[in-house]
Amino acid sequence: MSLRQFSRGLMTTLIFVLIMGCSNGSTNDPGITVSEPVELKSATISVENAFLSGVPTNVLTTMSDESKAFYEADIDNIEALMVDFGNDFKNRKLMYSTDNYAEYEFTAKNETNTVTFSKQDDGSWKLTRF
């Protein structure tokens, strides 16, 4: 192998590593700030309050139409857990955010939980998964 071939291989590898390692800043890596739009923050507070109310229909009103259809049949089964969920959700951390999607994490009973939100056609943010 010539020095020229070695140099080309090394440069190709370095470029590949740089491209694969670049982040667009939307993940919550150490030292990277993930922005939380005011509308999204407002939606998370509404979800928190809905769970703290312990009323299943209040939680359903914070959900996207697709999620509402998915959770509606079983939402009454978690009524007893809603207030605890709401209290745990107070300690959420935004982990990932794009213009249309956001993911939060929080810990409850030593387990990491994920909650996702999606931006709707009308510009509002709704609970997608919990």
The 10s digit of each residue's pLDDT in 50-105 is 999 999 999 999 999 999 999 999 999 999 999 999 999 999 999 999 999 999 99
Q: Tell me, yes or no, whether 8 lies in a domain.
A: no
Give Dmax over CA atoms of the chain in angstroms. Answer: 72
Full residue range of the structural domain in which residue 125 is found: 27-129
pLDDT of res. 18:
41
Q: Tell me, yes or no, whether 102 lies in a domain.
A: yes
Q: Tell me, yes or no, whether 76 lies in a domain.
A: yes
Question: For residues 114 and 105, is the Cβ–Cβ distance under 8 A?
Answer: yes
Q: Tell me, yes or no, whether 125 lies in a domain.
A: yes
Model pTM score: 0.74
Q: Tell me, yes or no, whether 99 lies in a domain.
A: yes
| Cβ burial 29-46 (10 Å sphere, 16+ → b, else e) | eeeeebeeeeebeebbeb
Q: Domain tally for the chain?
A: 1
Q: Tell me, yes or no, whether 13 lies in a domain.
A: no
Three-state helix/strand/coil letters over 32-86:
CCCCCCHHHHHHHHHHHHHHHHCCHHHHHCCECHHHHHHHCCCHHHHHHHHHHHH
Q: Tell me, yes or no, whether 43 lies in a domain.
A: yes
Q: Tell me, yes or no, whether 115 lies in a domain.
A: yes
CATH number of the domain encompassing residue 58: 3.10.450
